[in-house]
């Protein structure tokens, strides 16, 4: 799975992208966040306000309960601020 991070989520996690292999039981963004925050304090901090963080699956907005797979590209980012 490719995971991308943008804006302050990227700054806190300390990387813009990573490739990880996840077990089949991690099948929603909610569960992926639960897994990531066990890795280190940076992830824990980045996802501390998880309700505000948006998720995309293969470049389409999804909810945190949508089913995801190992070959997806998942992105985590704060609400957008363009325009």
Partner 1 sequence: MNFLGTVRAKDKNNKNILSMTLEHYPVMTENEILKITEKALKKWDINYISIIHRIGKLFPKDKIVYVGVSSKHRQNAFNACNFIMDYLKTNATFWKIEEFENENKWVIQDKKEIEALEKWS
The residues that touch partner 1, with contacts defined as CB under 8 A, are 4, 6-8, 11, 56, 59-61, 75, 77-83
Would you say 33 or 62 has its CB closer to partner 1? 62
Report how far residue 28's alpha carbon sits from residue 25's, in angstroms, rounded to the nearest whole number: 9
Minimum distance from residue 77 beta carbon to partner 1 (Å)? 7
Shortest separation between residue 36's beta carbon and partner 1, angstroms: 19
Please report, for residues 7, 12, 42, 43, 46, the alpha-carbon distance to residue 15 in angstroms, rounded to integers and kept in the order given. Answer: 10, 8, 10, 11, 11
Which of residues 24 and 82 has its CB atom nearest to partner 1 in the complex? Answer: 82
| CB half-sphere exposure, 82, CA atoms < 13 A | 1
């Amino acid at each position: 799975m490719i995971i991308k991070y943008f804006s302050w989520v990227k700054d806190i996690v300390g990387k813009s992208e990573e490739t990880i292999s996840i077990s089949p039981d991690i099948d929603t963004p909610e569960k992926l966040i639960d897994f990531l925050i066990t890795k280190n304090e940076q992830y824990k901090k980045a996802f501390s306000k998880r309700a505000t963080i948006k998720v995309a699956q293969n470049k389409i907005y999804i909810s945190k309960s949508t089913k995801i797979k190992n070959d997806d590209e998942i992105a985590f980012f704060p609400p957008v601020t363009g325009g």
